Amino acid sequence: MRRQGRVWARRAAAAAWCLAVLTGCGGGGSPAVPAEDAASSGVNTPPPPPSRAVLTALPADGAQDVPPEGPVRVTVAQGRLVSVRLADAKGAEVPGTITEDGAAWTPDGLLPLGTAYALDAVAEDDQGQKAAQHTAFSTVARAHTFVAFFTPEDGSTVGVGMPVSLRFSRPITDRAAVEKAVRVSADPPVPVAAHWFGNQRLDVRPEHYWAAGTRVTVALRLKDVQGAPGEFGTQTKELHFTIGRAQVSTVDLDAHALTVRAGQGGRVVKVLKVSGGSSDHSTYRGVMVVSEKYKVTRMNSQTVGMGDEYDIKDVPHAMRLTASGTFVHGNYWADPGVFGTANTSHGCVGLADAKGGASRDTPAGWLFEHTIPGDVLEVKASRGDFVPPENGLNGWNVPWEQWVAGSALGPSR
């Protein structure tokens, strides 16, 4: 299954990156209809029917330059809204109101300019079956100015693979001036280098994964910096995040196994059975970093150009690996015999799970509880495309010399 979206708009200062989109799975190869999705559950009984509630959110997922007046709203057909949360990257929620009949939600006022938002809505039908919707968008920045949306979040604790990633609200033509105004330092010290992906994204990382316990400071001195003719930065901000325990796992798709490793020596903590992408729809190979986590989310074939082939409203324990929609997630609908024996998915890495995303005892539930954003999965297989480094937080796939060459300031930065 594939789940497409832009990671970076999720947080105004943390995930301009992380625009989560309703998607299906994706990896190397062509997307296709998940025939195995119709397989029986682990007890060989038909799964509960999907929720009949149909959620619609505006603006569209990934929208940029949304006016402060919107339109921003959530509606539901054949059901009632249970909850709606609209929040910026710091977690500050926007007040809003659900109508008395539970059919719609709107914010109570105008939205601030130059801010990235994540919108999460849950509805249920008359049988109590829930449906979830996640979208992300950013409001328009002031004319002739630009801001940087950043990840990870200020004050967060992340895994050893988390880069500093900035997504600019306007195209940057004077990359050297902007890059010079972004300073990243670490304690204990470690050399870092910046790399541009296009004209609106700048990532910074060390040569190797961060050491556990490292404290990272990001100083944005963009105020009055001219990023393009007539476009000036507005931010003066300092951000801090901490590298937590080291967890770098490997996924061997030929052996159908995910091995969780911890600590500097890579001590094996757990080995989990998985099912990766099929021969026609292989999972990406390479280093992939977890950028987002959803206890339950929706995956819809329409978002990957597959029409109305499938629409799974409650995929449990989903963790995003690429912006284009590769996830490691729970799977309650497939024959449990495929995990550890066969690759049958359409690009994602699936683990056995229970419906609802509440269990911590299933393989997917255990992995979800023991994973934080920034943790690394190194996917290995005898076939399949390698993940493009700009597809998600996956710049580790760029060799160090090539990474440094992608800086506008050169190796002396």
Which pLDDT score, from 0 to 100, does residue 309 have? 64
Q: Tell me: do 392 and 263 sit in the same domain.
A: yes
Judged against a pLDDT cut of 50, whether residue 199 lies above it is answered with yes
Which pairing describes strands 148-151 and 164-168: parallel, antiparallel, or unpaired? antiparallel
Tokens of 226: 């001219």
pLDDT in tens, 366-391: 999 999 999 999 999 999 999 999 99
Domain CATH number, residue 229:
2.60.40.3710
Residue type, 366: W
Q: What percent of the chain has pLDDT over 70?
A: 86
Q: Tell me: do 256 and 239 sit in the same domain.
A: no
Q: Active-site residues: which are they? A: 329, 348
**Nearest 10 degrees: Cα torsion 190, 10, 370, 133:** -170
Domain CATH number, residue 287:
2.40.440.10
Contact predicate 201/390, CB 8 Å:
yes
**Nearest 10 degrees: Cα torsion 5, 389, 371, 295:** 10
Domain CATH number, residue 44:
2.60.40.3780
Residue type, 376: V
Which pLDDT score, from 0 to 100, does residue 307 have? 66
| Last residue in a domain, options 101, 116, 139 | 139
- Asked whether residue 176 is assigned to any structural domain, the reply reads yes
Question: What whole-number distance in Å separates Cα of residue 272 and Cα of residue 367?
Answer: 9
pLDDT in tens, 347-360: 999 999 999 988 99
Residue linked to tokens 């729809």: 281
Q: Tell me: do 229 and 295 sit in the same domain.
A: no
Judged against a pLDDT cut of 60, whether residue 7 lies above it is answered with no
Q: Tell me: do 294 and 333 sit in the same domain.
A: yes
Q: Tell me: do 151 and 291 sit in the same domain.
A: no
Non-local (6+) Cβ contacts of 372 within 8 A are: 157, 158, 159, 244, 247, 290
Judged against a pLDDT cut of 70, whether residue 402 lies above it is answered with yes
Q: Across the strands, what pairs with 158? A: 243
- Asked whether residue 2 is assigned to any structural domain, the reply reads no
- Asked whether residue 408 is assigned to any structural domain, the reply reads no
Per-residue exposure over 117-127, b if at least 16 CB sit within 10 Å of its own CB, e if not: bbbbbbbbbee
Judged against a pLDDT cut of 70, whether residue 153 lies above it is answered with yes
Question: What whole-number distance in Å separates Cα of residue 359 and Cα of residue 354?
Answer: 7
Residues spanned by the domain of 388: 248-397
N residues, the chain: 413
pLDDT in tens, 252-293: 999 999 999 998 889 999 999 999 999 888 999 999 999 999
Judged against a pLDDT cut of 90, whether residue 89 lies above it is answered with no
Q: Tell me: do 116 and 80 sit in the same domain.
A: yes
- End-to-end Cα separation, the chain, in angstroms: 41
Radius of gyration of the chain (CA): 21
- Asked whether residue 126 is assigned to any structural domain, the reply reads yes
Q: What is the mean pLDDT of the chain?
A: 88
- Asked whether residue 388 is assigned to any structural domain, the reply reads yes
| Last residue in a domain, options 139, 173, 206 | 139
Helix/strand/coil (H/E/C) assignment for every residue in 54-99: EEEEECCCCEEEECCCCCCEEEEECCEEEEEEEEECCCCECCEEEC
In what side-by-side order are the strands of the sheet with 311-320? 292-300, 311-320, 327-331, 349-352
Q: Tell me: do 262 and 213 sit in the same domain.
A: no
Q: Tell me: do 308 and 228 sit in the same domain.
A: no
Q: Tell me: do 49 and 173 sit in the same domain.
A: no
Q: Tell me: do 294 and 372 sit in the same domain.
A: yes
- What one-character DSSP code corresponds to residue 109? S
Selection from 299, 321, 152, 164 nearest residue 251 by Cα: 321
What is the number of structural domains in the chain? 3
- Asked whether residue 219 is assigned to any structural domain, the reply reads yes
Per-residue pLDDT, averaged over 101-106, amounts to: 96
Residue 25 — pLDDT band, cuts 50, 70, 90?
Answer: low
Q: Tell me: do 76 and 117 sit in the same domain.
A: yes
| Last residue in a domain, options 197, 223, 244 | 244
Judged against a pLDDT cut of 50, whether residue 22 lies above it is answered with no
- Asked whether residue 314 is assigned to any structural domain, the reply reads yes
Contact predicate 117/86, CB 8 Å:
yes
Q: Would you say the C-alpha torsion 287, 291, 294, 295 has a positive or negative sign? A: positive
Which pLDDT score, from 0 to 100, does residue 406 have? 97
- Asked whether residue 402 is assigned to any structural domain, the reply reads no
Q: Tell me: do 260 and 237 sit in the same domain.
A: no
Number of neighbouring beta carbons within 10 Å of residue 363 = 22
